[in-house]
A and B are shown apart, each in its own frame.
Chain A
Amino acid sequence: MQLERPQRQVAMVMDLNKCLGCQTCTIACKKLWNRDEGAGYAYWNNVETWPGEGYPRRWNETGGRDAAGQVKRGEVPDLESGYGRVWRFDHQQVVHSDSRKGDQWLKPDGDPSWGPNWDEDHGAGRYPQDNHYFYLPRICNHCTHPACLDACPRGAISKRSEDGIVLVDQDDCHGYRFCVEACPYKKVYFDTERQVANKCLFCLPRIEQGVAPACARQCPGRLRFVGYLDDAAGPIHKLVAQWQVALPLHPEYGLEPNVFYVPPLSPPALDAQGRPTGAPRIPVETLEGLFGPPVRAALATLEAERAKRKRGEPSELMDLLIAYDWNDMFKLDAPAGAVVREDAS
């Protein structure tokens, strides 16, 4: 199915070299949008360790697109082994315990065997030669050709013409979850109490006021750039189109995601004697598996520009990525007459 392209497309670039894995974005999003009882397990924004199993587990294998971009039957992850159930904690038991200090500790109910970030910081490789990991923050990609929209038999999912944001109309949703199945990024969720789908709305009310999404504004690592793809003066266009160092996740699915990633550089692996080999610790094949073959050129550009900066030469790209002025990371043209609240957080 081919949709008419939106008039404009709002987009995000995340620089993976700067992500701390602190989950501030996750909490900012969860607190703002997604606190309903039936969606406790659902994180519209999550940050996962990569290489890793991801959230939900094996999301990159259970969606509705194959490596050639063709439709295949996806899965609706289950709570226990897919998403991970919500853990409950009995703070009172610990606070008011008569036990000796240290005998009682705060632990989740039941005996969980999986959950978001269960494999945090595990990564891959052998210590100390080439062990490695990085953090992969993920939100809905607000795809140009959304698999979720294509999958909904009720037409309850739409893509806005004015900014390309993909939305679920919960009044029309009957909870069939074909959208959950079909999304190869597993970024549509299901509210088990209200029995409707829900997903990231790119902080639509903020975008309409020219304010970047909460996950981006609250990011302490300053890794999220927000703007319109067609704004040649904005950071998104520069990173995606001009410098070509920001790449979509799994482009092979053919959905044209509108969240882009600056791939992580890494220190060299070591040989048996502990000497640097010159090969990056994060194998380029790992990054190719996420971002496709263009990642090699993107890494080369990043390394070349970094080297220029190290030599004291100017580099527009490095200055852009460092983001000396936080305000430069967000460039959203507010509709005429809108009040832009720069103090919004």
Chain B
Amino acid sequence: MKHEVKLVAAPTGMQPGGYVPKAYADRNVALTPSLEIEVARPPGIWRIRLRWPCPDPVRDVRADPSLFPDAAALFSPRAEASPWVTMGAPGLGVDGVLWRADTERLIAVQAEGLGTMKRSEAPAGWRYDAKHAGGVWQLELTLIGWSTLDASGRVAAAVWRGSAQERGGLKSVSPGWLGLA
């Protein structure tokens, strides 16, 4: 199953703190305009291939404090009513997987609202393969035992373009939950 998703800029006005909403009030266009999501479901496995345009990839950020890595994430709701745009809410959390171009392992994430994201080591059965060619990132996620997605069948996606210093709430996101089942 393949989805072509038109991404939108995550609304900066709702970001926590007094700085980002004002300093980035003008950032209202998705810097990554689209994302292709292709899903295969061998038994017990989510194999999800993501493709998005990225003309200027950033893989290594250790050399300079002003560098930010390309990254992408998928979130799945723990509850039917878990809001997508705020990455969940208290008692209505989301679970996800975060890929950063500068790290070898995937990162498991949980959140119950903006600014609450917790990172942890991804389960041993989660791995990725990423390639950048022709101005496009292709990321293949192999996720074994993601029970939240098994239950919900839905994800929201986020893409960060490192060369534009996107991080945190500065990102391109899917316009809502996407059904993968």
Q: Is the interface of A mostly helix, strand, loop or mixed?
A: loop
* Chain A stretch 164-220: residues in CB contact (< 8 A) with chain B: 174-178, 180-182, 189-190, 192-193, 195
Q: What is the 8 Å Cβ interface bit string for chain A, positions 226-258, against chain B (1 contact, 0 not)?
A: 000000000000000000000000000000000
A78 to B67, CA, bound (A): 8
Query: With a CB–CB cut-off of 8 A, which chain B residues contact A1?
Result: 17-18
Interface centre among B18, B63, B68, B167 (most CB of A within 10 A): B18
A182 & B115 in contact (Cβ 8 Å cutoff): no
A155 to B117, CA, bound (A): 11
A193 & B119 in contact (Cβ 8 Å cutoff): no
The count of chain B contact residues (Cβ–Cβ below 8 Å) is: 24
- Asked if A116 lies at the interface with its beta carbon under 8 angstroms from chain B, I say no
Stretch from A21-29, A144-152, A280-288 at the B interface: A144-152
Query: With a CB–CB cut-off of 8 A, which chain B residues contact A147?
Result: 19
- CB of A157, distance to nearest CB on chain B (Å): 10
* Chain B stretch 116-141: residues in CB contact (< 8 A) with chain A: 117, 119
A79 & B66 in contact (Cβ 8 Å cutoff): yes
Query: With a CB–CB cut-off of 8 A, which chain B residues contact A76?
Result: 65-66, 165
A-B contact count (CB 8 A): 79
* Chain B stretch 3-39: residues in CB contact (< 8 A) with chain A: 15-20, 22-24
Query: With a CB–CB cut-off of 8 A, which chain A residues contact B62?
Result: 38, 192-193
Q: Is the interface of B mostly helix, strand, loop or mixed?
A: loop
Given that A71-B23, A72-B23, A182-B23 are contacting pairs, would A77 and B65 also be in contact in the complex, using a CB cutoff of 8 Å? yes
Beta-carbon nearest neighbor of B116 in chain A:
A154
Query: With a CB–CB cut-off of 8 A, which chain A residues contact B24?
Result: 73
Interface centre among A73, A78, A155 (most CB of B within 10 A): A73
B168 & A190 in contact (Cβ 8 Å cutoff): no
- Asked if A52 lies at the interface with its beta carbon under 8 angstroms from chain B, I say no
- Asked if A267 lies at the interface with its beta carbon under 8 angstroms from chain B, I say no
Q: What is the 8 Å Cβ interface bit string for chain B, positions 134-168, against chain A (1 contact, 0 not)?
A: 00000000000000000000000000000001011
- Asked if B64 lies at the interface with its beta carbon under 8 angstroms from chain A, I say yes
- Asked if A153 lies at the interface with its beta carbon under 8 angstroms from chain B, I say yes
Given that A153-B114, A174-B119 are contacting pairs, would A83 and B65 also be in contact in the complex, using a CB cutoff of 8 Å? yes
B169 & A192 in contact (Cβ 8 Å cutoff): no
Q: Which of B23, B63, B64, B114 contacts A181 (CB 8 A)?
A: B23
Query: With a CB–CB cut-off of 8 A, which chain A residues contact B20?
Result: 151, 153, 178
Query: With a CB–CB cut-off of 8 A, which chain A residues contact B23?
Result: 64, 71-74, 181-182
- Asked if B181 lies at the interface with its beta carbon under 8 angstroms from chain A, I say no
Query: With a CB–CB cut-off of 8 A, which chain A residues contact B165?
Result: 76
- Asked if A82 lies at the interface with its beta carbon under 8 angstroms from chain B, I say yes
Q: Which of A77, A152, A176 contacts B167 (CB 8 A)?
A: A176
Q: Provide 6 A-B residue pairs closer than 8 Å at the C-beta atoms, listed in order of the A residue.
A: A73-B24, A78-B65, A80-B64, A150-B19, A151-B20, A153-B115
**Given A79-B66, A154-B117, A177-B167; 9 other pairs, CB 8 A cutoff:** A1-B18, A71-B22, A72-B23, A82-B66, A153-B169, A154-B16, A155-B115, A177-B65, A177-B68
